[in-house]
Amino acid sequence: MSLPDRAHFLQPPGPGASEPFIWATGIEDTFIVDPYPLTGRTLDEYELTGHYEQWQGDIDRVAELGVAAIRYGIPWYRVEPQRGRYDWSWTDRVLARIVSYRIEPIIDLIHYGTPPWLTGSFLNPDYPERMADYAAAFARQYHGLFRWLTPLNEPRINAWYAGRVGQWPPYHRSWNGFAQVLVAICRGIVRAEAAVRSVVPDLVSVHVDPTDLYFTDDPSLEAEVRQRQELVFLALDLVLGRVGEDHPLRGWLRSRGIPDAAVSWFQANRARPAIIGLNEYPMFSQKRLVRARNGVRQVMPAAPPSVLADLCRMYYHRYRLPIMITETAAKGGVGKRAAWMDASIAVVRQLRGEGVPVIGYTWWPLFALISWPYRVGSLPLEKYLMQMGLWDLKMSGSRLERVRTPLVDRYRAYVTSGI
């Protein structure tokens, strides 16, 4: 599919916060399709929430909000069911509908997970090349239809679940595994961005990662807090080629079995993101380290809006790139979600007033999601519903119905009135 005469609806950000503001949303799109050994369950959010069947109505809901953009994930395992064989039939229709509403798709090439044929997932030696091939194939298919791209969403969380806690392939359970997976993922990000840019020269690359603020009440854990905070930035530092000998984590990477040549590769092959996308949730983004019987444990007290402000300032002062809030929401009742919407948008206004170039805001997800414990659990699907969206999901027979909440009009009012 190619629409070379299409006018893009979003322009790349300029140097200041006075640029047009990007209001966006997105549909949760985790794709962990390797069956969990103890349950046999997979985690394809599009399948579990019925998006594959209800995609037309879901895109219509996005349009109802009046947003300029949607972050939209591509199910790699479905579009490339066998290595080198692509099936774009479903994505052809979805992306055409998105742009028919004059909504800019910000494409997530990977939003967790790899196809089953890629044995070893991110630690397959061919992973970076396979990701680059997939990225290039996507770019050729949709050249003229898209320009904004996130090569891989949340590299640090991918590495945590696949390398540190062993819930996702390749099921490693160590800091060494975390480091190995993260470096492989980052190499794939660089290769994929370059592959797409060779087809789409005016690519707008958005690097998206979750952002956390670490602290402790235990003075003996201050060094650990500093290291964990540096790990928050490590993926972006790698893809930008910033991990030199003086980097705080260069020695840590070496101690985790990462060869110097693997780190130096990034200095010779830097990515070129135009925007830093921050995913921040009040229930996950503040982490207090405490000592436990088996070592150091992290506790997650609810984060006030000031944490979002602090993190945006930290990223801007470190990287001097425009920032977009690429995911945020609160879970719980409509009132709780509305309060976070109001407070987080107020923070964005405050930051822009300070001169921090926050150029966009994304309420994510559009509708409720199925929480990740579903894959490893045994309860019925509806027990894992996490109501975080503008629409709730409610089980009706075997179908999850979209239930409009007052948050739809609330968010639309923000979109209409502007920042």
Q: How far is CA 135 from CA 141, 150, 190, in A?
A: 10, 11, 11
Asked if the peptide bond before residue 282 counts as cis, ω within 30 degrees of 0, the response is: no
DSSP 379: S
Task: Please report the DSSP string for 116-167 in residue order.
Answer: TTSTTGGGSTTHHHHHHHHHHHHHHHHBTTB-EEEEES-HHHHHIIIIIS-S
Residue 362, φ and ψ in degrees, nearest 5: -125, 115
Using alpha carbons, select from 242, 260, 241, 261 the residue that is nearest to residue 251.
260
Q: How far is CA 80 from CA 47, 131, 133, 134, 207, in A?
A: 17, 11, 11, 8, 23
Structural contact between residues 145 and 3, judged by C-beta atoms closer than 8 angstroms = yes
Helix H or strand E encompassing 236: helix 222-239
- Quote the CA–CA distance of 303 and 213 in Å, as a whole number: 9
Strand order of the β-sheet with 213-216 is 213-216, 286-292, 295-299
Helices (H) and strands (E) in the chain, counts: 14, 17
Which fold is adopted by the domain 22-236+268-417?
TIM Barrel (3.20.20)
At position 299, the amino acid (one-letter code) is V
Q: Hey, where are the domains in the chain? A: 22-236+268-417
pTM: 0.95
Structural contact between residues 387 and 331, judged by C-beta atoms closer than 8 angstroms = yes
- Quote the CA–CA distance of 307 and 51 in Å, as a whole number: 33
Phi-psi region of 324 (alpha: psi -120 to 50; beta: other; left: phi over 0): beta
Structural contact between residues 308 and 343, judged by C-beta atoms closer than 8 angstroms = no
Q: How far is CA 265 from CA 238, 241, 242, 366, in A?
A: 9, 8, 11, 38
Using alpha carbons, select from 251, 253, 221 the residue that is nearest to residue 235.
253
- Quote the CA–CA distance of 52 and 48 in Å, as a whole number: 9
Residue 92, φ and ψ in degrees, nearest 5: -55, -50
296: number of Cβ within 10 Å: 14
Q: How far is CA 51 from the centre of its chain?
A: 18
The tokens describing 190, both together, are 């660089």
- pLDDT value at residue 20: 81
- pLDDT value at residue 4: 39
pLDDT means over runs of 10, the chain (419 residues): 58 67 98 96 98 98 98 98 98 98 97 97 98 98 97 98 97 98 98 98 97 96 96 98 97 98 98 98 96 90 96 98 98 98 98 97 98 97 98 95 98 95
Strands 399-404, 391-396: parallel, antiparallel or unpaired by DSSP?
Answer: antiparallel
